[in-house]
Amino acid sequence: MKKATAEARLRKGEEKLEKRRAEYVEQIRNEMAYAHKKGDEKRAKAEVNKGKCLIRVEEEAAIKHHTVNHQLSYHCPSCLKGP
C-alpha cells in the first residue's frame, strides 16, 4: 500500500512539474514572438522613414537642378507655369 501511495504522489509531482515546465516554455515563446514582432515593426518603420528621406532628397535635387540649369531661361515650360 505504501508503495502505491508513494508512486501516486511521485506521478502527481511529475505531472505538476511538467505542467509548470510547459507554462514556462509557452511564456518564453510568447516573449520571443513579441520581441520578433517589435523588431519587424521597427524595421518597417525605418524602411518607411528611409523612403520618405529618399523622396525628399530627390525632390531637393530636382529643384536645385532646375534652378541651376534654368535660372535665366525664360523658355522653360515649367518656369512659365507658375505656382
pLDDT above 90: percentage of residues in the chain: 49
Element (H, E) at 70: none
Asked whether residue 41 is domain-assigned, the answer is yes
Asked whether residue 36 is domain-assigned, the answer is yes
pLDDT of 41 > 70? The answer is: yes
pLDDT of 83 > 50? The answer is: no
pLDDT above 70: percentage of residues in the chain: 81
Domain of 44 in residue numbering reads as 1-48
> Stretch 44-48: mean pLDDT, rounded?
91
Asked whether residue 20 is domain-assigned, the answer is yes
Residue 17 phi/psi, 5° resolution? -65, -40
Asked whether residue 14 is domain-assigned, the answer is yes
Asked whether residue 58 is domain-assigned, the answer is no
d(CA 24, CA 68): 65
pTM listed for this prediction: 0.55
- The count of domains in the chain is 1
Question: CB-hemisphere CA count at 13 Å for 33?
Answer: 6
d(CA 30, CA 24): 10
> Position 11: which residue type?
R
